[in-house]
Structure 1
Amino acid sequence: MKLEQIETPAALIDIARMQKNIARMQAHMNTLGVAFRPHVKTTKCIDVVSAQLAAGAHGITVSTLKEAEAFFAAGIDDILYAVSIAPSKLPRALALRRQGCDLKLVVDNPTAASAIAAFGDQHGETFDVWIEVDTDGHRSGITPEQDALLEVGRILHQNGVKVGGVMTHAGSSYELDTPQALAALAEQERAGCVRAAQRLREAGIACPAVSVGSTPTALAAAQLDGVTEVRAGVYVLFDLVMHNVGVCALDDIALSVLATVIGHQTDKGWAILDAGWMALSRDRGTSKQSHDFGYGQPCLLNGTLLPDYVVSGANQEHGILSSVQGGAHVDDIAQRFPIGMKLRILPNHACATGAQFPEYHAVAPDGNSAAWRRLQGW
C-alpha cells in the first residue's frame, strides 16, 4: 500500500531510518564492549524488536507484564520487567517463569522485596530480582550509599531469592542538551550503579548484572567499566525531544503521523488536519526545551521538512497547522495546503504517539508499506 492510499491518521515507521538507528546504537555498544538489552516500550512491536535482536541485542526490557507475555509467546525468553513489581502481579510473573520465561523482576523497597520472598517461598519459586538504583534523583530507586540498598539485598538473599543485579535509568538526561552534560551524566550513571553493585558484593550478596541506560546516556557514554549491559528504547525511532537533547537529527526520526488537510481558517492562517491529540498525543515535551515544536513538525509525504510550519494546536480529532512566524503566509495557507493534501507529522515523544495506534504502517524505501501490529494495554 502506498502512502496516498493509507487512511488517516496513521502511524508510519520509516524502515530505512529505523534500521540506521538500530545499527548506530548496536555499533556503539559493541565498541564499548557491553551487552545491549533494548527497551521495547517505545514500539511494543514484535517486527521492530526482531530487527533489534537480529542486529545483535541480547534479551529485552519491558514496562508491562502484557509485553512480557506477548514477547515470550513470540519466542523471546530473556526479559527484564523494569518496573518495581506490585505484589498483586506476582501470580502473573510466576506463570511466566513456570512456562520457561527467564523473567527478571525489579524492586526498590523492603516491602516489595519481602512480598517477593514470601510469595516465592509459598510457591517454591526462586525469583530473579534486580534492585533499582537511583543515580540522578529522577524518579525511583535506592541511591548507591543508602542503607536501604543492603536491607533490600539481605531480605532477598537471606530468603533464597536470587539477587540478579542492579539497574538504573538516568531519565534526567532528557533535560540536558549539550554533549558535555550528557557525557557527565552517563559517567555519573555508570559510577553510581557500579558502586551499588560493589556494596552488595562486599556484603556477601552476589550481584552479577550491572545494567544502565537511557537513550541519551547510552549514546554519550565514553566508557562503561564495570557495566554488563545497557538498556535504551526511544533510539529505535527517535523523536523531537531527542532531537532537542542533541542525540539525533530531524531526518533520523523514523516515526511520523500521516494526516490529511480537512479545512482552513484563512483569517487565522490555519490549515486544519484530521490528526489531533488522539493521534499525536498530548505530550508537549519540547515546550520546556530550547525549540518548541508544538504538537509536531510537519513534513511532506517524501519526508521533506516544512520548517516554516508547526502543528501549533490540537483538539481531540483536529490539529492546527500554522506558520511559526505567526502572521506570515496567512494569505496563502489554503493554496499551500489544499484540502485532501497529506502530510507527515514528526512527534514530540515516540512512545506516547505510538501508544495512540494499534498498528504501524512500516514504509519501505520504495514507498510501499506493510502493517506491523502494536501491543496495547497492561
Structure 2
Amino acid sequence: MHPTLDTLDTPAAVIDVARMQHNIDRMQQRMNALGVRFRPHVKTSKCTPVVRAQLAAGANGITVSTLKEAEYFFAEGVADILYAVGMAAHRLPQALALRRRGCDLKLLTDSVASAEAIAEFGRANGEVFEVLIEIDTDGHRSGIWPEDPALLDVGRALHDGGMCLGGVLTHAGSSYELDHPEALSALAEQERAGCVRAAERLRAAQLPCPMVSIGSTPTALSAAQLDGVTEVRAGVYVLFDLVMSNVGVCTADDIALSVLTTVIGHQHDKGWAIVDAGWMAMSRDRGTQKQKRDYGYGQVCTIDGAVLPGYVLSGANQEHGIVSREGAPDADIAARFPVGTRLRILPNHACATGAQFPEYRALSGDGQLAAWERFHGW
C-alpha cells in the first residue's frame, strides 16, 4: 500500500509535481521566446525524474556542480554536461575518464595557472579538453572581469596549449540580493553585456569563443533581451523557495518543495508547537534572514500545502523545530495544532533542504506519493 501525506514517516521532502512542471514550462518557454538554449543546473534536485522532465520540456544539456553529478547523469544517458566549478587539477583524471567514455564534458577555469594545468594534463594524455573561461560580471564570486588583461592570457594558455577554448561563462549570483524588477532587469543586462564583451575581446584577439553562457534564476526570468548569448543556465527555478519569493520571481504558490512534519509537543506559555523537522531536515540555511521578509527556517503550511500566514518555523535544533506565530505568541497553539497534526514547511533554500534527504516524495494530483531517489556527495 502506497503511503499518503497522512501516513508517510516524517520528516519527508515532498515535491508537488504539478508545481514543478509549471516551473519547468515557465522557464523553458521564456528561453524559447528569447531565442537561446537552456542548460538547467541540476545541483538543485540531483534527481533523475526531475532532470528528465527538464530535458523533455526542451532543455539542451545540463550544468553540474560536482563530477559525481556528471558521472551519475552520464550513466542516465545525458552526455552534454558542463561542470560549472573551477577545475582543480586533482580532478582531471576523473574528467578524462568521463570524456573517454563518451561524455561531452566541458570544464571551467578563471586563471592562467589552472588553464596551464589543464593543458599540460591534456597534452600528456592525448586529450583535447573543452574549457570555458569564467567571467565575473557582478563581483559576486569567481571569474575574470570582462576588461581584465588576464582574460586573454587564460584564453591563449588554453588555445595555444592545444585545448578547445569553448567560450565564456558567468553567473550573476548577486541577483539573490535584489527584490525590485527594475534592479533585476538591470543586473540581467549587466550580466549579458559583460559576458558578451568578454567574448568579443577573445574573438578580437583571434581566439575562438563559440559559447556565451550566462544565468541565474532571477536574471533568467528578468532579462529583456539576450543578444550575443548562446545559452542560459538556472537551477533553483525548478522547485523555487522562500529566497526566490523574496527576490520577487515567484510566489509561495510556485514553491514545489516542502518538508512534511508532525507536531510532537508544545510549550504552552511560549506559544510554541514542537515538530519533528529541525535543521537536519530544513538545513541551516537562513537565506531569508537578510531579506525583506525573514521566515526563520521556513513558512508553515497545512498538510494540503495552504500557507498559514504568520506561522513560521522560528527555531530549530537538530531534530526539533519550533512553530510559532510572528508577533504576539499564539496562546491557543495547542488547540490549533494538536499533537499528531501534520504540517508542511516551505524552505528558505530548496537546494540546501533537498540535500538533507536521500529521496523526495513526488506528490501527484491524485495524492499518490512516488519515491524519487536523490544522491549525495562529491
Measure the CA separation in 1 of the matches of 2:145 and 2:366: 50
The answer for the alignment partner of 2:12 in structure 1 is 10
Q: Which residue of 1 aligns with 2:377?
A: 377
**Amino acid in structure 2 at the alignment position of 1:297:** Q
Match of 1:78 among 73, 80, 85: 80
- Distance in 2, matches of 1:31 and 1:302, equals 34
Shift of 1:366: 1.0
1:230 counterpart (226, 229, 232)? 232
Q: What is the CA–CA distance in structure 1 between the aligned matches of 2:169 and 2:8, rounded to whole Å?
A: 41
Q: How many residues align?
A: 376
Q: Which residue of 2 aligns with 1:261?
A: 263
Could you say what secondary structure the match of 1:325 adopts?
A: coil
Q: Distance in 1 between matches of 2:195 and 2:32?
A: 20
| RMSD of aligned alpha carbons | 0.5
- Structure 2: how far apart are the matches of 1:346 and 1:300? 11
Structure 2, unaligned stretches of length 5 or more? none
For 2:129 and 2:373, the matched residues in 1 are separated by: 31
Q: Deviations over 1:70-118 (max 9, x none)?
A: 0000000000000001000000000000000000000001111000000
- Kindly indicate whether residue 334 of structure 2 is the aligned counterpart of residue 334 of structure 1: yes
Deviation at 1:2, TM superposition (A): 1.1
Q: TM-score, normalised by structure 2?
A: 0.99
* Residue matched to 2:141: 139
The equivalences for 1:304-315 within 5 A come to 304-315=306-317
Structure 2 match to 1:54: 56
Distance in 2 separating the partners of 1:139 and 1:201: 25
In structure 1, how many angstroms separate the alpha carbons of the residues matched to 2:68 and 2:340? 38
Among residues 193, 196, 199, which one is paired with 1:194 in the alignment? 196
- AA matched with 1:22: I
The corresponding residue for 1:130 is 132
Choose 303-312 or 84-93, whichever is displaced more.
303-312
Which amino acid is 1:58 matched to? N
1:208 is matched by which residue type in structure 2?
P
User: Structure 2: how far apart are the matches of 1:138 and 1:84?
Assistant: 15
- What is the CA-CA distance between 1:265 and the residue it aligns to? 0.3
Equivalent residue runs for 1:207-286 within 5 Å? 207-286=209-288
Aligned to 1:45: 47
Find the counterpart in structure 1 of residue 123 from structure 2: 121
In structure 2, C-alpha distance between the alignment counterparts of 1:95 and 1:70, rounded to whole Å? 13
Shift of 1:326: 2.9
One-letter amino acid matched to 1:338: P
Amino acid at match of 2:8: I
One-letter amino acid of the counterpart of residue 318, structure 1:
H
Aligned to 1:4, what secondary structure does the other structure show? coil
CA distance in 2, matches of 1:51, 1:177: 29
Instruction: Work out the CA distance in 1 between the residues paired with 2:74 and 2:328.
Output: 50
* 1:343 matches 2:339: no
Amino acid at match of 2:368: N
Q: Of the candidates 110, 114, 130, which is equivalent to residue 112 of structure 1?
A: 114
Q: Which amino acid aligns with 1:353?
A: T
Partner deviation per Cα, 1:245-291 (whole Å, 9 max, x = no partner): 00001000000000000000001000000000000000001010000
Once the two structures are TM-superposed, the CA of residue 308 in structure 1 deviates from its matched residue by 2.2
Provide runs of 4+ in structure 1 moved above 3 Å. Answer: none
Give the SS at the match of 1:287: coil
The equivalent residue for 2:352 is 352
Structure 1, residues 199-250: CA drift from partner, whole Å, max 9, x if none?
Answer: 0011111110000000000000010000000000000000000000000010
| Shift of residue 44, structure 1, vs aligned partner | 0.5
Task: Give CA deviations for 1:275-317 in whole Å, capped at 9, x if unaligned.
Answer: 0000000000101000000000010011111012111000000
Per the alignment, residue 103 of structure 2 pairs with 101
Q: Distance in 2 between matches of 1:46 and 1:200?
A: 36
Work out the CA distance in 2 between the residues paired with 1:4 and 1:115.
55
How far, CA to CA, are the matches of 1:285 and 1:321 in structure 2? 18
Distance 2:230 2:87 in 1: 23
